[in-house]
Amino acid sequence: MAATVPAPPGPRVRAVLRRRSYRSFRPDPLPAETIRALRDVAASAPSVEGRRSGRVVVLDDPEVARRMPRAVTAGLVGKINPWLLRSNPPLFLVVAGDSRSGLRDGDRHWYNVDGAVAGQLAVLEATGRGAGSCWMAGFHERSVAEAAGLGEGERPLAVIPVGHPAVGPESGGSWLGRGWDAAAQRILSARRKPLERIAHRGRFGVPFIAGEVPWAARGVAGDDDAAWPGLGPLRPAAGFSGEPVDESRLAVLLECARWAPSAENSQIARHVVVEGRAVAGALLAAAFPDAPIETEQLPPLVIVCLAAPFPIRARTREQPFFLIDVPIAVANLLVAAADLGLGWQVAFRFEHHAVAGALGVPDDHRVVALVALGIPARAPAAGPRSPLDQLRPAG
Ligand SMILES: Cc1cc2nc3c(=O)[nH]c(=O)nc-3n(C[C@H](O)[C@H](O)[C@H](O)COP(=O)(O)O)c2cc1C
């Protein structure tokens, strides 16, 4: 049996669990090193088939940062975020996708996935460096595209202000933002669904009852005093050893998915845990009927990530929340994996209905991703690249 995960957890897991949305910022600028790190993360984020159909633009020009709140709140939708007009963040991330020539299958525009993963990686890098942020899907599209200088055919799908969080009356932040934060954290964020409601073992509907990971279940509060090593480049594993992933690692992974931000705190992401090479093999045969996976390429663990229905379904028709919120939770899994000594491969393009059928997923849920995890193999498996290995660096 593999060794269990020690508590307290590593810095990346702590950042995942500590992150909360902040809507009020101190007036001071972010250190140049933080801005550089955000650019690096945005530039090196993996994407579906390495195509970079979606990306994160880092906007630290003070003039652009000054104009962005008006651009966001122009029009009707942006009016849901009046706090931004007062919160003065020194930097904005704009998550954007190539609507014209980005990779897509039918109505699934994969730029949503690329943007969601890159955006969440940048958010976690900011968290690790003590900066706060807030994903925002409520904004005026044309004004934001213009203010961010997006290219022809590119559409923004989220705006993320970043700055040092202003907490407490002496912090210099706006009362509106601080009040909004306090209310949102108490009313929305604190009401996280319990793990057994969002995670299932083996088959949809069988609650995943985790062993004790008390520090993870509460989230992690307060400043991080540990030195932040940086997220580092997020790269898929070349293959997996057959060694099983122990329960404590699994519980930490699922807690990390559970603390992902989601629009309206809807927490639509669900996770079905499929354990053992043989069981994973049967599922993957259904997922990839035309591309059988060699036995030695099979992972010992697959977390199948789904979306539950929610009344607010999409930002725009092309930008459904199931293709944004679920990949954000996937990004949390991948960042946590690095701290847990696990490698990963992720697929988004496969036979979604066959996987749903095999796991008993109800018709109103959507299967989104297959996240394969395991101890990385020492040497890459022979043969062609696994069909699971779709979230890749560019090039
Ligand atoms: C895709 C997406 C869109 C969001 N849009 C907004 C928004 O427009 N305004 C806002 O104040 N918060 C927005 N949020 C933040 C959520 O309300 C927040 O993540 C959720 O309440 C959970 O709280 P936490 O992030 O503090 O854990 C958004 C989050 C996501 C992931």
Q: For residue range 11-62, list pLDDT tens digits in order.
A: 999 999 989 999 999 988 999 999 999 999 999 999 999 999 999 999 999 9
Closest CA to 298 of 374, 364, 358: 374
Out of 21, 86, 127, 141, mutate this one to test ligand 1's pocket (max ligand atoms within 8 Å of CB): namely 21
- Residue 20 main-chain phi, psi, to 5 deg: -135, 160
Q: Quick check: CB of 157 below 6 Å from ligand 1?
A: no
Burial letters 287-304, b for 16+ CB under 10 A, else e:
bbeeeebeeebbbbbbbb
104: its two tokens: 């897509």
Residue 275: how many other CB atoms lie within 10 Å: 17
Average pLDDT over residues 259-264: 95
For ligand 1, atom 29, name the residue with the nearest CA: 263
pTM of the shown model: 0.96
Q: Quick check: 385 pLDDT over 80?
A: yes
Segment 361-374 mean pLDDT:
98
Establish whether residue 123 lines the binding site of ligand 1, counting it when its CB lies within 6 angstroms of any ligand atom: no
Rounded to whole angstroms, how far apart are CA atoms 205 and 192?
19
Q: How far apart are the first and last CA of the chain?
A: 38
Half-sphere exposure of residue 362: CA atoms within 13 angstroms, side-chain side = 7
Dmax over Cα atoms in the chain, in whole Å? 61
**C-alpha angle 285/289/292, rounded to 5°?**
60
* Closest atom of ligand 1 to CA, residue 261: 19
Evaluate if residue 156 carries a pLDDT over 80.
yes
pLDDT digit string (tens) for 173-229?
778 888 888 888 887 777 889 999 999 999 999 999 887 665 665 555 555 556 899
Asked whether the beta carbons of 283 and 295 are under 8 A apart, the reply is no
Looking at residue 1, what is its pLDDT?
42
DSSP 18-55: H--B---B-SSPPPHHHHHHHHHHHHH--EETT---EE
> Distance between alpha carbon 166 and the CA centroid of its chain, in Å?
24
Q: Scanning the structure block, which residue is given the tokens 């801005």?
A: 35
Question: What is the pLDDT, as a whole number, of residue 354?
Answer: 98
**pLDDT, tens digit, for every residue of 62-117?**
999 999 999 999 999 999 999 999 999 999 999 999 999 999 999 999 999 999 99
Residue 361 near residue 316, CB atoms below 8 Å: no
Interval between CA 276 and ligand 1 midpoint (Å): 35
pLDDT for the residue numbered 217: 56
Predicted confidence band of residue 294 (pLDDT cuts 50, 70, 90) = confident
List of domains in the chain: 16-186 (3.40.109.10), 188-392 (3.40.109.10)
Q: What pLDDT, in 10s, does the model give residues 119-151? A: 999 999 999 999 999 999 999 999 999 999 999
Q: What is the mean pLDDT of residues 320-337?
A: 98
CA of 137 to the centre of ligand 1 (A): 8
Quick: pLDDT tens for 331-357: 999 999 999 999 999 999 999 999 999
Residue 146 CA to residue 72 CA, distance in Å, equals 11
265 in contact with ligand 1, CB cutoff 6 A: yes
Q: How confident is the model at residue 5 (pLDDT cuts 50, 70, 90)?
A: low
